[in-house]
Structure 1
């Protein structure tokens, strides 16, 4: 009898636990318009983990990106693929690079077209017309796709941001972290990374221009879409921009950039490392194992084809690699390279994480993509950076400042400089030592990056109002927020000192001038007396 009651109690407990688990499950809509594979390396593990925890996830993505995830409802937007193809054929875009305002106008058009393609998609429209479907959370990339924020209001859902790229002042703004910064521009081209006064002043102007572009160009275009598809006034969009609960950012303080964050900016760099790495083939494994002098790995990432690199850059790299005693693994879509030798191993698809983890790997030559830099840091491998565009400059320069990398201009490479730099990285033990220290710091966390991302995602689901995690500037007096009281005190003191010095200088000047005047007057009187005496003698 007692055994029967025990089984009944166990069954009720199991049923109650199952009920509680089901009660915590949420409907989540993720909108990710990336047309390149690297950002999905961060998104995919998070979505898989949320599905495994019982949440129902719908994803709006381009066709074919990412591959189908079990348990996820996929809504594909082929127009996003077409927009990327049109962009790559648009010579105006490449001509505008380097001109902030022309570049800003073109990028604004791209964001407008992306938001329009998503909201105008038949699958998305059918989803919005189905009144039986509700969402508890909207996950979006924290970029300038402001019109998509209307989905959070449409479904009365929590708004969660994801930043797969580097941190910027714009993400700070969305998170309520409005402290003035001259460190994180949106486009780093032409942005100075040193700390001189002139660089800081130049960077302040640089970011001020970006803020003007955001206010005058980016946002008005998104407001038009916001009104067209949702019918909300522009003021509602300003409200939604301040409604981000949590923003998961693909960065970590151990990667060479310590910054001040409000509590709802969550650093989760390394989420993609939770997925098992692709194994090495037997041939590649043997090639690395038998590298007597170590190995060098050269890759420009998943999104940059070797054939599009400057021809001079390819020639200089090949010339240098042929002279190295280390074995070289060259990631290239080209099956054959001119002058290929036994110490150069060419592969189209490289199991990068396994290569970087191999004990014989001595150096990673990279374009500075965020995922690549992260994987090199995780494995403690020194880097030589050859950045080409966008966030790559910022990513690799930060690691250079941290002491585990060197950076060269890929458009101005020569064999002598390249050999000298590679030898410096290989033979100076400080780079390898610093790389190991950064790897230890990167891995030493209370929770894994994926567990951290999941916990904070579910925290946002449990706590819809996260205003207590944002910096409310309206409650902080202007004098205190900008530390104007300290500046005023310093200014008064400086003014008193400068005023005193000016007053003393003026008094000394006046005294000296009066003395000079008296001397001149005395000399004039003496001269008149002498002249009078001379005239008197002549008359006599």
Structure 2
């Protein structure tokens, strides 16, 4: 009996713990995006991982193993920016030029977040993390923190992949049947629609690469001390992309092994439907 207990105790203490120190970075000022990420971060904390979340939307109640770093942009969050019910003759052009609006909102998020006392104080700490989970949407300026943290990067999206995210993972994007998510096409396009889809996608990719990322590099250099050109290195070295999408709703497309659909991950436990009683009629 003593030998058995000794073996059990030895096994327990010799088994390495599987808890990780995880840093989540979600600098976008849109709350709807963070609402898709919060359940994941809380779920990781519930599993015993130590989770630090950098965002503009801290929890209102303490949560075990979950720590907020408030970026302090509550007064600048995006509410009712786009009226999805509004249609006008220029709406098609707005979809094509949507990358401009995304770039402007990204620049605001970068300036507000990276200049915050929370980020500047974080830079002075000696904390170490095993992995970084970063939103891949309309900016990469916060990837400059990789220079300090030196941990693998997992990207995550609140919806389908933006046109510029496929290239960084070498994920195929055939514009003949894979519509740009800024447009309203299906996977059955006419010749002219395919032509427009191709031109718009190329325009978005080029604009993001040479305007947005270049601006991200300047902002990261100013606030984080990141060396010129390093942001692009961090982008190329990203390990995995989790997309909040599913082929049954967003059309099937080829995905490389390090791009994984996790559609519905943000849906928390549902409540049971109340039992129907004839007396209720």
Taking structure 1 as the reference length, what is the TM-score of the superposition? 0.46
DSSP 3-state at the match of 2:69: strand
User: Relative to structure 1, is the Cα distance of residues 37 and 79 closer, same or farther in structure 2, using a 3 angstrom cutoff?
Assistant: closer
Q: What are the ranges of 5 or more consecutive residues in structure 1 without an aligned counterpart?
A: 89-93, 291-540
> Partner of 1:247: helix, strand, or coil?
strand
Q: Is the 8 A contact 2:143 2:234 kept in 1?
A: yes
**Larger helix fraction of residues:** 1
Q: Partners in 2 of 1:134 and 1:256 — Cα distance?
A: 37
- 2:104 match: 109
Identify which of 88, 96, 99 aligns with 2:94.
99
- Whole-Å Cα distance in 2 between the matches of residues 26 and 163 of structure 1? 22
| Distance (whole Å) between structure 2 residues aligned to residue 276 and residue 29 of structure 1 | 25
The equivalent residue for 1:10 is 8
The answer to whether structure 1 residue 255 and structure 2 residue 249 are counterparts is: yes
Q: Distance in 1 between matches of 2:22 and 2:96?
A: 37
Closer/same/farther in 2, CA of residues 206 and 44 from structure 1, 3 Å limit: same
Instruction: Determine if contact 2:172/2:255 at 8 Å carries over to the other structure.
Output: no
2:111–2:219 Cα contact (<8 Å) kept: yes
- 1:140-289 matched pairs, under 5 angstroms: 140-182=134-176, 183-188=178-183, 191=185, 194-255=188-249, 257-273=251-267, 275-280=268-273
Which stretches of structure 1, 4 residues or longer, exceed 6 Å deviation after superposition?
A: none
- Secondary structure at the aligned position of 1:266 is classed as strand
Conserved? CA contact 2:24–2:132, under 8 Å: yes
- Partners of 2:31 and 2:57 within 8 A in 1: no
Seen in structure 2, the aligned counterparts of structure 1 residues 78 and 205 have a Cα distance that, compared at 3 Å, is: same
Deviation at 1:234, TM superposition (A): 3.3
Structure showing greater relative contact order (alpha-carbon pairs closer than 8 Å, 6 or more residues apart):
2
| Distance change in 2, residues 1:109/1:42 (3 Å) | closer
Change (3 A) 1:112 1:255: same
Q: Where do 1:284-303 residues align within 5 Å?
A: none
Change (3 A) 1:67 1:162: farther
Residue pair 1:105, 1:217 contacting (<8 A) in 2 also: no
Q: Secondary structure at the match of 2:150?
A: coil
**What is the aligned partner in structure 2 of residue 489 from structure 1?**
none
Shift of residue 203 of structure 1? 1.1
Give, in angstroms, the shift of residue 174 of structure 1: 2.5
**Counterpart contact for 1:80–1:114, Cα < 8 Å:** no
Matches of residues 289-368 of structure 1 in structure 2 within 5 Å? none
Whether 1:127 and 2:122 are equivalent positions in the alignment is yes
1:73-117 deviation digits (Å, cap 9, x = unpaired): 1112231542426968xxxxx9x9643676433331210110222
Judge conservation of contact 2:131–2:153 (CA < 8 Å) in 1. Answer: yes
* Residue pair 2:69, 2:118 contacting (<8 A) in 1 also: yes
RMSD: 3.0
Report SS of the residue matched to 1:15. Answer: helix
How far did 1:265 drift? 0.4
Q: Is the 8 A contact 1:137 1:158 kept in 2?
A: yes
Q: Is the 8 A contact 2:187 2:251 kept in 1?
A: no
Q: For 1:378-389, what aligned pairs fall within 5 Å after superposition?
A: none
| Aligned residue number for residue 73 of structure 2 | 79
Secondary structure in structure 1 of the residue aligned to 2:220: helix
Structure 2 residue ranges without an equivalent (≥5): 83-87
2 CA distance for matches of 1:43 and 1:176? Answer: 24
Report the counterpart of residue 27 of structure 1 in structure 2: 21
Q: Helix, strand or coil: the match of 1:130?
A: coil
> Equivalents in 1 of 2:173, 2:263: separation in Å?
23
Equivalent residue for 1:50, pick from 44, 57, 62? 44
Measured in 1, the distance between the counterparts of 2:96 and 2:188 equals: 24
